[in-house]
Structure 1
Amino acid sequence: MHAHRPETGAVSVLKARGTVDASNAIAFSEAVAEHIAHADRAGELPVLDMTEAYLACAAAVRAVDRATAVLAFSGRVLPVVQPRPHVRETLRTAGLPGIRVYATMASVLAALKSLYAPQARGCAGPRPGGPSW
């Protein structure tokens, strides 16, 4: 899903569905990494919706970490929306530096809006040429 919001710019949402386990963790990691790369190329803000996803094992958590490593390295995070309680707890316990968990899409958009608010007032904001959340 792609949406343009005047207050945040373009937002690209990848909706994950199903169970991520050892048999598909690499494919999941690649899909999330490609989503991030595509959003960066398009000047969009990537978001991962995990409302309907389940992380079944450590390989699944490592897949998320691997996919978001480039963001963590540059001081950015991937907003993760509405993970189920057990997924949210797993992600919190893992302490992955490349993600930030949000309860709702509205809370993600509010966070992005506050991040980009300085730009709207003409103040210093995110670096030109790409997001820096």
Structure 2
Amino acid sequence: MENGQPSRAHAHPRGPAPLLLQTVHERRPEVGVISVLKARGTVDASNAMEFSEVLAEHIAHADKAGEHPLLDLTEMYLACAAAVRSLDRATGVLAFSGRALPVVQPRPHARDALRTAGLPGVRVHATMASALNALEARRDAVDADLDAGTEPGAAPDVVTTRRRAGP
């Protein structure tokens, strides 16, 4: 899947387009290295779990490498509710930590489905520039928190309480 080859999910004759997933790493001056998972084809009930697993691995790998994960849905169709749930499963770790995966250029039906679902671990962007601007703003906020001596995104009172509770 990393190499753009078809996933294990097989296309049915006259059925949905096969799922193709490819990771591209790019250095962007405004935010550093981004890791873009480009998805093409259809996510349906037959391959939603696989898509969720690949996306979760993509996010985990990007976090370990110090990269910003993004998901490009320019050429993706979400065929059913299972497809939307697969995104929710994969981005759960981000939502838990108060972050969200930038999802870039989803087709209108996918954009509407994602907005309706209100997934806490997903942030929809109409363009790559919009997603990069959001990442840059987040990086600036993290830098400001670090300069102030607090944990990124945490309220100062919460950080103080956690530090006192330690050994």
| TM bracket, shorter-chain basis | 0.7 to 0.9
Q: 1:59 to 1:73 in 2, by over 3 A?
A: same
Check the 8 A contact 1:16/1:52 in 2, yes or no: yes
Q: Structure 1 residue 115: deviation in Å?
A: 2.0
- Secondary structure class of the residue paired with 1:123: helix
Aligned to 1:97: 120
Select the structure of larger CA radius of gyration: 2
Q: 1:2 aligns with which of 6, 16, 25?
A: 25
Question: Which stretch shows the higher mean deviation, 110-119 or 74-83?
Answer: 110-119
- Secondary structure class of the residue paired with 2:144: coil
Aligned to 2:140: 117
Aligned to 2:34: 11
| Distance (whole Å) between structure 2 residues aligned to residue 125 and residue 47 of structure 1 | 24
Which amino acid is 2:31 matched to?
A: T
Check the 8 A contact 1:68/1:99 in 2, yes or no: yes
Aligned to 1:24: 47
Q: Structure 1 residue 100: deviation in Å?
A: 0.2
Q: 2:87 aligns with which of 64, 69, 72?
A: 64
Query: RCO greater where, 1 or 2, for CA within 8 Å and sep 6 or more?
Result: 1
Q: 1:123 to 1:16 in 2, by over 3 A?
A: same
Which runs of no fewer than 5 residues in structure 2 stay unpaired? 1-23, 154-167
Which amino acid is 1:33 matched to?
A: A
Aligned to 1:87: 110
Q: How high is the TM-score relative to the length of structure 1?
A: 0.88
Aligned to 1:54: 77
| Distance (whole Å) between structure 1 residues aligned to residue 144 and residue 139 of structure 2 | 10
Q: 1:40 aligns with which of 59, 63, 69?
A: 63
| Distance (whole Å) between structure 2 residues aligned to residue 115 and residue 55 of structure 1 | 28
Q: How many residues align?
A: 126
| Distance (whole Å) between structure 2 residues aligned to residue 32 and residue 55 of structure 1 | 14
Which runs of no fewer than 5 residues in structure 1 stay unpaired? none
Which amino acid is 2:35 matched to?
A: S
Cα RMSD, aligned residues only: 1.9
Which amino acid is 2:52 matched to?
A: S
| Distance (whole Å) between structure 1 residues aligned to residue 73 and residue 146 of structure 2 | 29
